[in-house]
Amino acid sequence: MPKSLHYPLANRDSLPRWRKQLLQRLPFEPVSAETYQVHYYDSFDWRLFRANKVLQWKQRNDESLLCLHSTDIEGPRTVMPLDRQPSGFASALPPGQIREELDGLLGLRALLPVVTTEIRSLPFHWIDKEGKTRLRVFLDHHKLIDADGNRRTLSKEIRVVPLQGYAKTAKRVTSVLEEELGLSPADGDLLSQALAGANATAGGY
């Protein structure tokens, strides 16, 4: 699976201005904007973090998903629909791969909320003449939500999601971003950004 690429933008930058620049340079088709929340969970002693795992509950209006993935590899995430927050023990989750893996990692430790972010995303698709999607790009505005519900900007970025079999399309897009627009890719670790913004440290008590 091709690796997603993250290009940080300055927090003062206007995403509509970047949207205009992208549409002027590349044959993208804009898609409706969306806003959703991402809640991160771990045990009190950071068992998932220490195992290079990240557990997210992505809360959307139309569908909410629980996602478990590794931080040390780029690959498919284990995903399951979940319409409520995953508080309590892993055994309370619906049967499936995520519950089995969390049971093995956490034992009798409860899942606790770590940090919550909100993402405002402006998506674009590169669609060829046959109607096939060759690549997806997202202009993302990340915000930290504190315990009182207050929001503040964490970061902004252009996120490039290449698709299998379309390496040339990805190369063209990254060339425009890097050579014409002067951007440089970064690791795109939103959890670390959110923890830093909340004055928390992964692995701490």
CA–CA distance, 126 with 62 (Å, rounded to integer): 24
Give the model's pLDDT for residue 105. Answer: 94
Q: Which of 118, 140, 157, 124 is nearest to 9 (CA)?
A: 157
Q: Which residue has the tokens 């951007």?
A: 183
Angle in degrees, CA 48, 102, 117, rounded to 5: 55
pLDDT of residue 57: 96
pTM listed for this prediction: 0.90
Residues (pLDDT < 50) of the chain are: none
Run of H or E residues at 2: none
For residue 95, count CB atoms less than 10 angstroms from its CB and return exposed for 0-12, middle for 13-18, buried for 19 or more.
exposed
Sign of CA dihedral 13, 16, 19, 25: negative
Residue 154: name the closest of 6, 44, 43 by CA.
6
